Amino acid sequence: MNLFDVYPVNPINIVRGQGSLVYDNHDKEYLDMYGGHAVISIGHTHPHYVKRLEDQLHQLGFYSNSIEIPIQKELATKLGKVSGKDDYQLFMCNSGAEANENALKLASFYNGKKKAIAFRKAFHGRTSLAVAVTDNPKIVAPINETDNVIFLPWADETALEQAFADHGNEISSVIIEGIQGVGGIQVAPESFLQKIRSLCDQHNAVFIADSVQCGYGRTGKFFSQDFAGVNADIYSMAKGMGNGFPVGGIIISPKIQPAYGMLGTTFGGNHLACAAGLAVLEVMEQDNLMQNAATIGEYLIKELNKLEQVKEVRGRGLMIGIELPEELSNARKDLLFKHHIFTGEAKPNVVRLLPALNLTKAHADRFLEAFVNVLNQ
């Protein structure tokens, strides 16, 4: 049987990893400044993570949500503490798309309304509602098409006010990434997030903060939307939540009440997933990783801003976009094949950095040195 060929892949076979370093089948070392799409939050094969998963696997790998799962409650308590949202409620699933799917559905159950507002260049995932609020017609199949989504220009307060003025009583939710990732690392202005909060309050709409890529401590605060000093009603999470184990979830404001059967999943919140989630939060807390993300991120952004070939540096903490001019469109390939450094991309010609939150200064310097080399060759 062949694989269904949907991914353009690099001819590299990574077989092991430790911290921010990974190694191929010829034992060649690579610096991982991308964490496999922002997933590796506490570093590859962190010893505490490996042990926690191993211990859990020897106890019980899985049982469904038809029994008490104390480790799920333990994770919710820890997540409430580390995120500072301890009055929120946790619903667990397995991926970012599923988290957004559940968030949009829950919003509609809550207020009985049908329309969602999303933003140009947004990426929210590939399941039916998540892809419907994603601004990329190429990944929207005819069966996913809907009139229930209103796309607005990014960070345009006037357009947002107008949409609420025109459709206020139909708008169920507004979904926004605190920092657009796939869209090129665009930081949502704080005033824009505050405007969403007040319009949602006025019109009984639900504010959904897609934190799948920009959340989980990556920016130096637990949720990047926290910089605006307002709370969303639902935060969606995945990626860094499980450091590679597929874990996703939404946290839900106390104003939204649950009912049996409203949401559900077979795998979400299973014992192994919760062990992975707890290991991540324990390491984040113990090793002060949000602070490290803020410090090393600030250092990288400061140094990158000194490079005259760079058009613009955007982002916060360890979520950084470096926009380059057209003539440097080979930079990512050169970083990978000449300097053995993984980075991500976004259009137009943006190098995306999404490394583990415990990236060291030495590794940041190794990246900077190689990057300067690539720009000057």
Ligand X SMILES: Cc1ncc(COP(=O)(O)O)c(C=O)c1O
- Which residues contact ligand X (rule: CB under 6 A)? 37, 95-97, 100, 123-125, 177, 181-182, 210, 212-213, 238
CB of 170 to ligand X, least distance (A): 24
Q: Which residues contact 206 (CB under 8 A, 6 or more apart)?
A: 106, 107, 110, 111, 172, 173, 174, 200, 233, 234, 256
CB of 99 to ligand X, least distance (A): 7
Question: Which stretches of the chain are assigned E, i.e. beta strand?
Answer: 14-18, 21-24, 29-32, 89-93, 115-119, 149-152, 171-177, 179-180, 186-187, 206-210, 234-237, 248-252, 312-316, 319-323, 341-342, 344-346, 350-353
For 97, 133, 176, the CA distances from 137, given in Å and listed in that order, are 17, 10, 18
Q: In terms of CB distance, is 211 or 349 closer to ligand X?
A: 211
Which 3-state string (H, E, C) describes 128-194? HHHHHCCCCHHHCCHHHCCCCEEEECCCCHHHHHHHHHHHHHHEEEEEEECEECCCCCEECCHHHHH
CB of 167 to ligand X, least distance (A): 24
Alpha carbons 13 and 23: distance in angstroms, whole number: 8
Q: In terms of CB distance, is 6 or 67 closer to ligand X?
A: 6
Q: What angle do CA 232, 297, 12 make, to 5 degrees?
A: 100
Q: In terms of CB distance, is 177 or 310 closer to ligand X?
A: 177
Q: In terms of CB distance, is 123 or 207 closer to ligand X?
A: 123
CB of 32 to ligand X, least distance (A): 17
CB of 377 to ligand X, least distance (A): 31
Residue closest to 354 by CA, chosen among 305, 314, 321, 306: 321
Q: In terms of CB distance, is 125 or 220 closer to ligand X?
A: 125
Instruction: Report, in this order, helix, strand and coil percent for the chain, each rounded to 5.
Output: 40, 20, 40
Alpha carbons 160 and 157: distance in angstroms, whole number: 5
Q: In terms of CB distance, is 121 or 363 closer to ligand X?
A: 121
Question: Between β-strands 206-210 and 234-237, what pairing exists: parallel, antiparallel or unpaired?
Answer: parallel
CB of 362 to ligand X, least distance (A): 28
Q: In terms of CB distance, is 26 or 347 closer to ligand X?
A: 347
Q: In terms of CB distance, is 272 or 328 closer to ligand X?
A: 272
CB of 218 to ligand X, least distance (A): 11
Q: In terms of CB distance, is 284 or 354 closer to ligand X?
A: 354
Backbone Cα Rg of the chain: 20
Tokens 């947004």 map to which residue?
122
CB of 307 to ligand X, least distance (A): 26
Which residue, judged by CB position, is nearest to ligand X in the bound state? Answer: 96
CB of 321 to ligand X, least distance (A): 13
